[in-house]
Every structure is written in C-alpha cells, then in structure tokens.
C-alpha cells in the first residue's frame, strides 16, 4: 500500500470484499468488536445507512479503510442518533486515514441533521480512543463487564460526539 493521501469516496457494492476483509482483520485483532466474524455483504448492506458509508481508497483504488453508521433505535425520538464504526487496514495505519474517514463521516452526519454519533471501544484499543478524541469525541463512561468476548468479560468505553451543526 502506498503512502499517498487516500481519497474518501462513497462505499459501493464493488467495495464489498475489501471492506469485509478489513473488517475481519479488525475482528482478528481481538480489540475491535465483540463480533467474531464479519457479516455477509447482504447483512452489512441491510444494517448500515447507505448515505453514511465511506471508504478510503489508495492511488490504486484499493480500499484501505472504511466507516459506516447504524441507527441506534427505530424509535422516532432517536432518529438523530447513530452508532459508527471505522476500520483501517493494518498496513495503512498511522497515515491519518482513520481521521480522514471520521471527519468525512461527521460532515455527512452533520449535514443530515444527525445530532449524536456514538460508539463503544474496548479500553485496550488505545489507538482508537486517541483517534476519536482527536476527532472531537468525548468519553461518556465505561460500561464494566458489558459482554463476554471469546470467553472473557470485556469493559467498553462509551464515546459520543454531539454535532455543533444541530441544535
């Protein structure tokens, strides 16, 4: 993977294999999610909001990272609240790709009137916590022993970013 600045683009079905491969690499790290396998493209596609799915492409148009959101609830009161994910290929980390994806995602959600973007991060994932702090997220709290992951209870740091564009 080259060192050039990636291009941020809308995620399309042609990106599916690369997106899911990067997702699986994150899962395999052990500190990204409670999931143990990446979903099928059909499940991924059905659960993420289409207007807020982005990829970072290198100069060879290979996906080096992605970001997407899911609604937190079907209830009308929570229409402006989403949970996000951002994943960067291990070979492309440390080049600002995660921050570029998050900034583009936040611009997209702000423009759509989404007032809260939130997520949960394992406390051991210090790189993700630092990235999110840089992007304007705040720590709301830690949910202790929230769930078991591969037989071990895991804590989750709950983070959020409130849109300055939505009052």
pLDDT in tens, 102-136: 999 999 999 999 999 999 999 999 999 999 999 99
Confidence of residue 2 (pLDDT cuts 50, 70, 90): low
* Calpha distance 128→116 (Å, rounded): 18
For 55, list phi and psi in degrees, rounded to 5. Answer: -130, 155
**pLDDT value at 1 more than 80:** no
d(CA 40, CA 3): 30
What values do phi and psi take at 79, rounded to 5?
A: -60, -25
**Tell me, what's the pLDDT at 8?**
98
Domains of the chain and any CATH numbers: 7-118 (3.40.630.30)
Which residue spans within 108-151 are E strands per DSSP?
Answer: 116-121, 138-149
């Amino acid at each position: 993977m080259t060192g050039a600045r990636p291009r941020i683009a809308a995620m399309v079905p042609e990106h599916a294999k690369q997106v899911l491969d990067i997702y699986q690499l994150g899962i395999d790290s052990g500190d990204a999610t409670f999931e143990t396998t990446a979903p099928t493209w059909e499940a991924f596609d059905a659960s993420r909001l289409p207007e807020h799915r982005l990829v970072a492409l290198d100069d060879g148009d290979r996906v080096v990272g992605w970001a997407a959101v899911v609604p937190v609830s079907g209830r009308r009161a929570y229409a402006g609240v989403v949970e996000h994910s951002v994943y960067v290929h291990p070979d492309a980390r440390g080049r600002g790709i995660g921050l570029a994806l998050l900034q583009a995602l936040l611009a997209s959600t702000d423009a759509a009137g989404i007032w809260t973007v939130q997520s949960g991060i394992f406390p051991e994932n210090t790189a993700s916590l630092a990235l999110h702090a840089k992007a304007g997220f705040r720590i709301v709290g830690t949910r202790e022993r929230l769930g078991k992951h591969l037989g071990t209870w895991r804590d989750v740091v709950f983070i959020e970013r409130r849109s300055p564009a939505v009052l």
